[in-house]
Protein backbone atom coordinates (compact mmCIF):
# COMPACT_ATOMS: atom_id res chain seq x y z
CA UNK A 1 0.00 0.00 0.00
CA UNK A 2 2.84 2.37 0.84
CA UNK A 3 4.51 1.67 -2.50
CA UNK A 4 1.23 2.29 -4.33
CA UNK A 5 0.81 5.62 -2.54
CA UNK A 6 4.37 6.57 -3.52
CA UNK A 7 3.72 5.76 -7.19
CA UNK A 8 0.49 7.78 -7.09
CA UNK A 9 2.26 10.75 -5.51
CA UNK A 10 5.07 10.65 -8.07
CA UNK A 11 2.53 10.37 -10.87
CA UNK A 12 0.68 13.47 -9.70
CA UNK A 13 3.90 15.44 -9.32
CA UNK A 14 5.19 14.40 -12.75
CA UNK A 15 1.80 15.25 -14.24
CA UNK A 16 2.08 18.78 -12.88
CA UNK A 17 5.65 19.13 -14.17
CA UNK A 18 4.79 17.78 -17.64
CA UNK A 19 1.70 19.99 -17.81
CA UNK A 20 3.74 23.09 -16.99
CA UNK A 21 6.50 22.15 -19.43
CA UNK A 22 4.06 21.55 -22.29
CA UNK A 23 2.19 24.74 -21.43
CA UNK A 24 5.39 26.78 -21.53
CA UNK A 25 6.33 25.25 -24.89
CA UNK A 26 3.55 27.34 -26.42
CA UNK A 27 0.13 26.79 -27.93
CA UNK A 28 0.01 24.53 -30.96
CA UNK A 29 -2.41 21.82 -32.00
CA UNK A 30 -1.05 18.29 -31.56
CA UNK A 31 -1.59 17.55 -35.25
CA UNK A 32 0.41 20.64 -36.18
CA UNK A 33 3.53 19.89 -34.17
CA UNK A 34 6.75 20.14 -36.12
CA UNK A 35 9.07 17.12 -36.13
CA UNK A 36 11.30 18.92 -33.63
CA UNK A 37 8.38 19.63 -31.27
CA UNK A 38 7.14 16.07 -31.65
CA UNK A 39 10.55 14.61 -30.72
CA UNK A 40 10.75 16.85 -27.65
CA UNK A 41 7.25 15.79 -26.60
CA UNK A 42 8.07 12.09 -26.99
CA UNK A 43 11.26 12.46 -24.96
CA UNK A 44 9.41 14.25 -22.17
CA UNK A 45 6.81 11.48 -22.11
CA UNK A 46 9.51 8.78 -21.94
CA UNK A 47 11.33 10.54 -19.10
CA UNK A 48 8.06 10.89 -17.20
CA UNK A 49 7.33 7.14 -17.49
CA UNK A 50 10.82 6.19 -16.31
CA UNK A 51 10.62 8.43 -13.24
CA UNK A 52 7.15 7.19 -12.30
CA UNK A 53 8.04 3.49 -12.64
CA UNK A 54 11.46 3.63 -10.97
CA UNK A 55 10.63 4.67 -7.41
CA UNK A 56 14.30 4.36 -6.42
CA UNK A 57 15.20 7.13 -8.83
CA UNK A 58 15.20 10.71 -7.55
CA UNK A 59 12.47 12.98 -8.93
CA UNK A 60 15.19 15.44 -9.92
CA UNK A 61 16.50 12.86 -12.41
CA UNK A 62 13.29 13.43 -14.31
CA UNK A 63 12.54 17.07 -13.66
CA UNK A 64 15.99 18.39 -14.63
CA UNK A 65 16.03 16.71 -18.10
CA UNK A 66 12.48 17.95 -18.73
CA UNK A 67 13.45 21.51 -17.90
CA UNK A 68 16.51 21.11 -20.12
CA UNK A 69 14.33 20.00 -23.04
CA UNK A 70 12.02 22.93 -22.37
CA UNK A 71 14.94 25.37 -22.58
CA UNK A 72 16.09 23.79 -25.85
CA UNK A 73 12.60 23.94 -27.36
CA UNK A 74 11.93 27.53 -26.33
CA UNK A 75 15.39 28.59 -27.52
CA UNK A 76 14.92 26.98 -30.91
CA UNK A 77 11.42 28.46 -31.22
CA UNK A 78 12.88 31.92 -30.56
CA UNK A 79 15.62 31.41 -33.17
CA UNK A 80 13.04 30.14 -35.65
CA UNK A 81 11.01 33.32 -35.16
CA UNK A 82 14.05 35.39 -36.10
CA UNK A 83 15.41 33.24 -38.94
CA UNK A 84 13.43 31.80 -41.84
CA UNK A 85 16.39 29.53 -42.66
CA UNK A 86 16.07 27.83 -39.28
CA UNK A 87 12.30 27.54 -39.71
CA UNK A 88 12.76 25.77 -43.04
CA UNK A 89 15.47 23.55 -41.57
CA UNK A 90 13.29 22.27 -38.71
CA UNK A 91 9.78 22.53 -40.19
CA UNK A 92 10.50 21.90 -43.86
CA UNK A 93 8.56 23.47 -46.74
CA UNK A 94 4.98 22.91 -47.88
CA UNK A 95 4.51 21.01 -51.13
CA UNK A 96 2.02 21.85 -53.84
CA UNK A 97 0.36 18.69 -55.17
CA UNK A 98 -2.33 20.35 -57.32
CA UNK A 99 -1.64 23.52 -59.28
CA UNK A 100 -4.21 25.30 -61.45
CA UNK A 101 -6.37 22.17 -61.37
CA UNK A 102 -3.49 19.93 -62.50
CA UNK A 103 -2.33 17.05 -60.33
CA UNK A 104 1.46 16.86 -59.81
CA UNK A 105 2.40 13.14 -59.54
CA UNK A 106 6.09 13.83 -58.90
CA UNK A 107 5.21 15.89 -55.82
CA UNK A 108 3.00 13.06 -54.53
CA UNK A 109 5.75 10.50 -54.98
CA UNK A 110 8.38 12.71 -53.38
CA UNK A 111 6.24 13.12 -50.25
CA UNK A 112 5.09 9.46 -50.31
CA UNK A 113 1.55 10.78 -50.25
CA UNK A 114 -0.94 8.34 -51.77
CA UNK A 115 -4.05 9.13 -53.77
CA UNK A 116 -6.44 7.67 -51.20
CA UNK A 117 -5.15 10.07 -48.53
CA UNK A 118 -5.39 12.95 -50.97
CA UNK A 119 -8.98 12.17 -51.97
CA UNK A 120 -9.93 11.76 -48.30
CA UNK A 121 -8.56 15.19 -47.41
CA UNK A 122 -10.15 16.76 -50.48
CA UNK A 123 -13.53 15.41 -49.35
CA UNK A 124 -12.89 16.77 -45.87
CA UNK A 125 -12.44 20.17 -47.53
CA UNK A 126 -15.76 19.82 -49.35
CA UNK A 127 -14.14 19.12 -52.74
CA UNK A 128 -15.71 16.46 -54.96
CA UNK A 129 -13.38 16.75 -57.96
CA UNK A 130 -9.78 17.77 -58.57
CA UNK A 131 -11.12 20.00 -61.35
CA UNK A 132 -12.64 22.20 -58.64
CA UNK A 133 -9.20 22.87 -57.11
CA UNK A 134 -7.02 25.84 -57.97
CA UNK A 135 -4.24 24.87 -55.56
CA UNK A 136 -3.81 22.07 -53.03
CA UNK A 137 -0.85 22.38 -50.69
CA UNK A 138 0.44 19.63 -48.41
CA UNK A 139 1.54 21.48 -45.29
CA UNK A 140 4.50 20.48 -43.14
CA UNK A 141 2.03 19.22 -40.53
CA UNK A 142 0.56 16.75 -43.04
CA UNK A 143 -2.65 18.74 -43.44
CA UNK A 144 -3.89 19.45 -46.95
CA UNK A 145 -4.80 23.10 -47.57
CA UNK A 146 -7.15 23.55 -50.51
CA UNK A 147 -7.82 26.73 -52.48
CA UNK A 148 -10.90 26.15 -54.68
CA UNK A 149 -11.35 27.78 -58.06
CA UNK A 150 -13.37 30.96 -58.23
CA UNK A 151 -16.96 30.46 -59.34
CA UNK A 152 -17.09 33.87 -60.98
CA UNK A 153 -14.77 36.42 -62.48
CA UNK A 154 -12.47 38.03 -59.95
CA UNK A 155 -12.31 41.81 -60.06
CA UNK A 156 -8.57 42.40 -60.01
CA UNK A 157 -8.48 45.92 -61.45
CA UNK A 158 -7.19 47.33 -58.17
CA UNK A 159 -4.66 44.56 -57.58
CA UNK A 160 -1.53 43.28 -59.26
CA UNK A 161 -2.23 40.74 -62.02
CA UNK A 162 -0.02 37.86 -60.97
CA UNK A 163 -0.68 35.88 -64.13
CA UNK A 164 0.63 38.71 -66.32
CA UNK A 165 3.78 38.81 -64.21
CA UNK A 166 4.25 35.07 -64.67
CA UNK A 167 3.84 35.42 -68.43
CA UNK A 168 6.45 38.19 -68.67
CA UNK A 169 9.17 36.42 -66.73
CA UNK A 170 10.74 32.98 -66.69
CA UNK A 171 9.72 31.93 -63.23
CA UNK A 172 10.90 28.44 -62.19
CA UNK A 173 8.01 25.97 -62.11
CA UNK A 174 8.79 24.90 -58.54
CA UNK A 175 8.62 28.52 -57.36
CA UNK A 176 5.44 29.50 -59.08
CA UNK A 177 3.21 27.40 -56.86
CA UNK A 178 5.15 26.86 -53.66
CA UNK A 179 4.70 28.74 -50.40
CA UNK A 180 1.45 30.47 -51.29
CA UNK A 181 1.03 33.26 -50.51
CA UNK A 182 4.48 34.40 -51.69
CA UNK A 183 6.32 36.34 -48.96
CA UNK A 184 7.74 39.68 -50.07
CA UNK A 185 8.65 41.07 -46.63
CA UNK A 186 9.14 39.06 -43.45
CA UNK A 187 10.01 40.65 -40.12
CA UNK A 188 10.92 43.88 -41.89
CA UNK A 189 13.33 42.12 -44.28
CA UNK A 190 12.67 42.25 -48.02
CA UNK A 191 12.70 38.86 -49.73
CA UNK A 192 14.72 40.03 -52.75
CA UNK A 193 14.91 36.55 -54.28
CA UNK A 194 11.12 36.37 -54.53
CA UNK A 195 10.94 39.87 -56.01
CA UNK A 196 13.53 38.98 -58.64
CA UNK A 197 11.67 35.84 -59.65
CA UNK A 198 8.53 37.96 -60.05
CA UNK A 199 10.54 40.35 -62.23
CA UNK A 200 9.98 43.15 -59.72
CA UNK A 201 12.23 45.24 -57.50
CA UNK A 202 12.26 47.16 -54.24
CA UNK A 203 11.10 50.34 -55.95
CA UNK A 204 7.92 48.59 -57.09
CA UNK A 205 7.41 47.09 -53.63
CA UNK A 206 7.93 50.43 -51.91
CA UNK A 207 5.33 52.03 -54.17
CA UNK A 208 2.83 49.40 -53.02
CA UNK A 209 3.66 50.15 -49.39
CA UNK A 210 3.34 53.90 -49.89
CA UNK A 211 -0.19 53.32 -51.15
CA UNK A 212 -0.86 52.12 -47.61
CA UNK A 213 0.98 55.10 -46.04
CA UNK A 214 4.02 52.98 -45.16
CA UNK A 215 7.39 54.57 -45.87
CA UNK A 216 9.90 51.99 -44.61
CA UNK A 217 10.30 48.25 -45.11
CA UNK A 218 11.20 47.83 -41.44
CA UNK A 219 7.70 49.02 -40.53
CA UNK A 220 6.21 45.90 -42.15
CA UNK A 221 5.93 42.65 -40.21
CA UNK A 222 4.62 40.64 -43.16
CA UNK A 223 3.83 41.41 -46.79
CA UNK A 224 2.61 38.65 -49.11
CA UNK A 225 1.29 38.21 -52.63
CA UNK A 226 -1.42 35.58 -53.11
CA UNK A 227 -2.39 33.51 -56.15
CA UNK A 228 -4.98 36.11 -57.16
CA UNK A 229 -2.40 38.88 -57.22
CA UNK A 230 -3.67 40.54 -54.05
CA UNK A 231 -1.15 42.06 -51.66
CA UNK A 232 -1.55 41.63 -47.91
CA UNK A 233 0.35 43.90 -45.51
CA UNK A 234 0.66 43.58 -41.74
CA UNK A 235 2.48 46.36 -39.89
CA UNK A 236 4.86 45.87 -37.01
CA UNK A 237 2.92 46.42 -33.79
CA UNK A 238 5.36 49.12 -32.75
CA UNK A 239 4.57 51.13 -35.88
CA UNK A 240 0.82 50.52 -36.10
CA UNK A 241 -0.92 53.89 -36.20
CA UNK A 242 -3.24 54.61 -33.31
- Strand-pairing partners, residue 137, are 96, 145
Q: Percentage of residues in the chain with pLDDT exceeding 70?
A: 79
Check if the beta carbon of residue 184 is closer than 8 Å to that of residue 191: yes
Angle at 191 between CA 93 and CA 235, to 5 degrees: 100
> Does 222 score more than 60 pLDDT?
yes
30 confidence band (pLDDT: 50, 70, 90):
low
Termini Cα distance of the chain:
64
The full DSSP string for 42-91 is HHHHHHHHHHHH-TTS-THHHHHHHHHHHHHHHHHHHHHHH-HHHHHHHH
Mean pLDDT of the chain: 77
Give the pLDDT band (50/70/90) at residue 76. confident
Q: What is the pLDDT of residue 139?
A: 84
Q: What is the pLDDT of residues 168-203, one digit of tens each?
A: 444 444 444 444 578 888 878 898 888 887 888 999
Average pLDDT of the segment spanning 139-160: 65
Return the higher-pLDDT residue of 171 and 62.
62
pTM, entire model: 0.49
Report whether pLDDT(47) > 70: yes
pLDDT category at 205 given cuts 50, 70, 90 is: very high
From residue 130, give the alpha-carbon distance in Å to each of 146, 154, 179: 10, 20, 20
Least confident of 74-78, 190-194, 210-214: 74-78
Kindly report the backbone phi and psi dihedral angles of residue 46, in degrees, each rounded to the nearest multiple of 5, phi listed first. Answer: -65, -45
236, 218 contact by CB (below 8 A) = yes
Report the pLDDT averaged over residues 137-165: 64
The percent of residues in the chain predicted with pLDDT above 90, rounded, is 3
Q: Which of 116, 121, 148 is nearest to 31 (CA)?
A: 121
| Cα 18–chain centre separation | 25
Amino acid sequence: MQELALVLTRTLLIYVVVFLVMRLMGKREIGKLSIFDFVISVMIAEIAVIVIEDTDRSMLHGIVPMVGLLVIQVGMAYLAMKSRTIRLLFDGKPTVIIARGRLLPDALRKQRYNLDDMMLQLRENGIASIAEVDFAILETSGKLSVIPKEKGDVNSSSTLDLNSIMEKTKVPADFRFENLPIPLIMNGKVQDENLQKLNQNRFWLKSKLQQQQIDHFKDVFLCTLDHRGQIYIARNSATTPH
